[in-house]
Chain A
Amino acid sequence: MNATPLLALDATGVSVRFNGAGKGVTALSNVSFTLEQGGFLTLLGPSGCGKSTLLRVIADITKPTSGAILVLGKTPDEARRNREIGFVFQESALLPWCNVIDNVRLPLAVGGKHKKAANQGPSAEELLALVGLAGWEKSFPHELSGGMRQRVAIARALLGGPKLLLMDEPFGALDEITRDRLNEEMLRIWRETGTTVVFVTHSIYEAAFLGQQVMMLAARPGRVREIIQIDLPEPRKLALRETADFTKMAGYLRTVLETC
């Protein structure tokens, strides 16, 4: 359509207000930003600054009170129906009565007429191999460790080859060792699939290690504080975190975070 390539995300003046009991909360106030396709954006900010809310607006779970967001040039609603969005939750949200392969294939099993879209892209088996779980097809979620469950959730989110992968603190409940390992894995998966990733985290190190860009949100009301480019040598490996460049970057993020 356009001469310029389609943006993965294009938000203009997105605000979300919750009118709960009492005075209500402005979760997001006038949020504008763009994200190019193939990017890896991490969202960082203090608790309650609206990171999850922003992700949910993109995924069409929450409607913005005002403003608009375009996902691959469409409304979030259209993008969702086209199966262009994958979502990974903090708790893996696997179906405990389905084995691993059936969990990954859930997008093929539900969605009315929209489920056909899930036939595109790599197969469930290929995705399980991609996340390092080949051979675990027949296991049940309660037989897996927390890290393995998140891998299954990532494979499920990738079924149908979504162009945009949204992740809300996917490794937040994991121990540090598993988390580090999955961080490195995540970068490999991002490179191999070429999908755009928006990744919410509480960890400065995770934000800097994963993100090509870090979007810092400030709280009360939730708003964009700063978008920081992370220029670090690629491909990133865990050892990168010991380098002076990385430490400097993380230090900078910390000073910005303290003003949020």
Chain B
Amino acid sequence: MSVQTMESQETADAALQETADASWVARQRSEAFERYLMPVIGTVLLVVVWWLIIVAFKVPPYIAPSPVAVAVTFANKFQLLFSNLVPTALEALGGFLIGNVLAVATATVFVHSRRIERIVYPVAVLLNSIPIVAKVPILILLLGNGMEPKIAIAALIVYFPTLVNMVRGLQAVSPQSMELMHILSATKAEVFWRLRLQTSLPYLFSALKIAASTATLGAIVGEWIGSQVGIGALIIQATYNFDSELLYATVLMGAFFSLAFFLVILGAERAFVRWQPESR
């Protein structure tokens, strides 16, 4: 067999691959449609069921509002809601950034020193086992009543899951790749930047997607004690005033932010981890 026929065989393979690819793309498209349509259907169903229950059981507004009332409040009090979202969002973003940067840094140290890992990891596990609601008052005493304790809580809440995932990701390098790097006399820094970091990206992003919502949660819970502003503070005020419509509208605002945050991370993942086909 000559090189010529070999190449034409390869081209034929490629053509076959292309038709396979085309049907794959079509399947992907209908899958994407399913993926985006189904959650919408689910959400609409939830709202309809909620509304039906309110109407059928004549639930009084101070116990639970109807979706329509919540929507009206959301629109009317948008200014109030938004001005309270800003500090919560800043705290969540700040905590997200600090917690994740520290987690990635710790994981980097861990994969280069087993000893440090053995010393620090149990401490991290211990701190993580303290429930978040117990950490809040401690941090408020330590850091005062500003944004700092909320940022600290958000950072603490994201730190551990990202650390665990990142360590796993940095170690997920195949032995063959490590041997290849050895044969090429690669330095430790090159192995880290060229191999470990790239390998860890899918692991990192799955942690970051969780962190987007837990950081928001941390900021909100942090605002429950002694805060005057923020989604958390507004939730507490609305609850004490039996203002269920405002309460629900506030929760909705927090949820929208959390969702938007998640989608931004998802977008970043799609941009950075293009090399891994979805099926894997």
Chain A residues proximal to chain B, CB less than 8 Å: 56, 59-61, 80-81, 83, 85, 87, 89, 91, 93, 95-98, 106-107, 109-112, 114-115, 132, 140-142, 145, 148, 181, 184-185, 188, 237-238
Contacts and interface: CB of A to CB of B under 8 A. Distances in A.
Contact of B183 (A87, A112, A181): A87
Contact of A93 (B17, B177, B190, B277): B177
A163 B177 CA distance: 22
Interface stretch (B5-13, B114-122, B209-217): B5-13
Contact of A97 (B176, B191, B198): B198
B11 to A, nearest CB: 10
Contacts of A237: 1
B194 A89 contact: no
Given A132-B7, A238-B1, A95 B195 contact: yes
B275 A97 contact: yes
Looking at chain B, what size class is its interface with the partner chain?
A: 20 to 34
A96 B3 contact: no
Contacts of B3: 132, 188
B7 A61 contact: no
A104 to B, nearest CB: 13
Contact of B180 (A81, A87, A184): A87
B43 interface: no
Nearest to B7: A132
B95 to A, nearest CB: 29
B185 A80 contact: yes
Contacts of B172: none
Nearest to A56: B179
Interface in B1-31: 1, 3, 6-7, 9-10, 13, 17
Nearest to B9: A181
A27 to B, nearest CB: 16
Contacts of A89: 176, 179-180
Given A93-B174, A93-B177, A112 B1 contact: no
Q: Tell me if B's interface is mostly helix, strand, loop or mixed.
A: helix
A56 B3 CA distance: 32
A28 B1 CA distance: 39
B91 to A, nearest CB: 34
Given A89-B179, A96-B275, A107 B184 contact: yes
Contacts of B275: 96-98, 140-142
Given A59-B183, A145-B13, A110 B194 contact: yes
Contacts of A85: 183
B203 to A, nearest CB: 14
Contact of A110 (B176, B181, B280): B181
7 contacts: A89-B179, A95-B194, A109-B190, A132-B7, A132-B10, A142-B280, A181-B1
A87 B179 contact: yes
B187 interface: yes
A61 B6 contact: no
Given A97-B198, A132-B6, A110 B179 contact: no
Contacts of A115: 184-185
Interface in B251-280: 273, 275-277, 280
A112 B187 CA distance: 6
B190 A110 contact: yes
Contacts of B77: none
Contacts of A93: 174, 176-177, 179-180
Contacts of A98: 275
Contact of B185 (A97, A109, A112, A181): A112
Contacts of A142: 275-277, 280
A111 B180 contact: no
B105 interface: no
Contacts of A148: 10
B186 A111 contact: yes
Nearest to A61: B179
Nearest to A108: B184
